[in-house]
Amino acid sequence: MIDFPDALRLLHPAIAVSVVFPIIGIVVRMAWQTRQRRLEVAQQGKSKIPPVVGSEHVKIGRWLTGSVVGLALLGLAHPIFKKLIKAGALNNDPSRVGLIALLFLATIATLVLLFMARERLWRAVFATLTGMGLVILGFQTDAQGNPLVFRRDNEWFVSHFYYGLAAALLMIFSLAIVQEIYQDRTNRWRTVHIMLNSLATLLFIGQGITGVRDLLEIPLSWQEPYIFSCDYVNKKCPEPAKQSQLLEPASQSQIPEPLLAPAMRGDRT
């Protein structure tokens, strides 16, 4: 069995694999069917694809937005609070810990309000606040200015953090413009929706690849003192401590008396 801290670390990838990625597959399938039905109806006047597929696509798409943003918040919460607690922030800077906790709650609240909002203004406000909450939480640093969430800034184009943040923001925006898609007769919002969610799909694929890569680099909790001492740029780790001297054959004085041969003990037959 793995230790409890390691089990907490596995919650994020476990939920992604078992919940989020299956929903992505369903949403993509229904999006394709919705488009095919719309094209067939426009050209032939009818389609074998049931009309309910459109409303089901919207409903499951809302589930996808909630699950993606929730998963992003979970992925941010674990390293942030782990490092704050490890640094003694609960005793040294409890106000900051409280503010970060309130920011998590506020981001969740604005996401819920975004689901409930119907007016365009309020949808824009709550979508902006939810996105701001994710960005502010993701870029938190410790007292020395080091990021609390590993970001791979020098390789942002293959960063699991940046892919996930961008995908979550795209999901929030897609949720905010759902009503505009159905009210706009020029299909401009629909085109924007298709383009942005196609990009989001590519980001989700990148999330799967970068997430597996990062799991290879994350050590177990008891391995951290050794693994984190490695030089990741040059791909070198400290050599094991060398023994100060080689083991020498034990002298006769170190050998227990019963093990000495009779001749060596001075016995005579």
Where along the chain do its domains lie?
Answer: 4-227
The answer, yes or no, to whether residue 247 has pLDDT greater than 80, is no
In the structure, what pLDDT confidence band is assigned to residue 242 with cuts at 50, 70 and 90? low
Digit-coded pLDDT (tens) for 63-116: 999 999 999 999 999 999 999 998 888 888 899 999 999 999 999 999 999 999
Q: Is the pLDDT of residue 241 over 70?
A: no
pTM over 0.75? The answer is yes
Average pLDDT over residues 174-182: 90
Please report the pLDDT score of residue 264 as a whole number. 42
Per-residue pLDDT reduced to its tens digit, 101-155: 999 999 999 999 999 999 999 999 999 999 999 999 999 998 888 899 988 888 8
CB 75 within 8 A of CB 164: yes
